[in-house]
């Protein structure tokens, strides 16, 4: 078990499964492996692709452990503390700015994608799909870090089941 390192005096343990789900959902789901990337980077080379997937998984576990351990040792309440510790004051600020820029870009791309999916798959207005995602995101963020962790930790296993199902079907 890993304990929440926030300033809340009423801290409850966060299950290791939740941390793993959040990490996998964030790194793999949001930033690394949409279906197209997996198809292009890994499956293109056939059976030898399994070596690349295995290497990528090992590296994600290794670097994820380093970051999680550093955050735990620093008793960090935010990713900024870890970044500033690792990169120093000025480099840490620059990295934080880059992260913020890319998060904003990813968020706008996801909103656009949600609008497109609503329009294509449900014949609903593009704006409706974008608004549904924007409002859902806003509500999730308003739940605080525990809410975000809970939502991601529930969604990730569901996505994993769908990925395995689609893989088996194809």
In a domain, 47, yes or no: yes
What residue has token string 């997996």? 38
In a domain, 40, yes or no: yes
- pLDDT, position 5: 47
pTM for the predicted model, two decimal places: 0.69
Structural domain including 56 reads 2-94+146-169
In a domain, 56, yes or no: yes
Query: Taking the CB of residue 46, how many other CB atoms lie within 10 A of it?
Result: 8
Q: Residue 54 has which token pair?
A: 């295995």
- pLDDT, position 29: 66
In a domain, 17, yes or no: yes
In a domain, 109, yes or no: no
In a domain, 19, yes or no: yes
In a domain, 54, yes or no: yes
Taking only the tens place, the pLDDT of each residue in 109-158 is 889 999 999 999 999 999 999 999 999 999 998 998 888 888 888 888 88
Is it the case that residue 3 has pLDDT exceeding 50? no
Number of folded domains that form the chain: 1
Taking only the tens place, the pLDDT of each residue in 10-50 is 445 567 788 888 888 877 766 555 566 666 767 777 778 88
In a domain, 164, yes or no: yes
């Amino acid at each position: 078990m890993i304990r929440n390192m926030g300033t809340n005096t009423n801290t409850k343990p966060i299950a290791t499964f939740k941390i793993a789900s959040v990490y996998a959902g964030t790194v793999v789901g949001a930033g690394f492996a949409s279906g197209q990337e997996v198809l292009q980077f890994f499956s293109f080379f056939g059976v030898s692709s399994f070596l690349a997937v295995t290497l990528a998984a090992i590296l994600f576990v290794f670097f994820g452990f380093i970051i999680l351990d550093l955050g735990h040792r620093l008793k960090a309440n935010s990713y900024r503390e870890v970044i500033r510790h690792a990169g120093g004051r000025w480099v840490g600020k620059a990295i934080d700015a880059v992260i913020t820029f890319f998060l904003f870009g990813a968020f706008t791309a996801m909103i656009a994608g949600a609008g497109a999916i609503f329009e294509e798959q449900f014949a609903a207005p593009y704006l409706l799909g974008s608004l549904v995602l924007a409002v859902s995101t806003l509500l999730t963020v308003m739940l605080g870090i525990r809410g975000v962790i809970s939502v991601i930790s529930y969604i990730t296993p569901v996505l994993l089941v769908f990925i395995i199902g689609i893989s088996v079907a194809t």
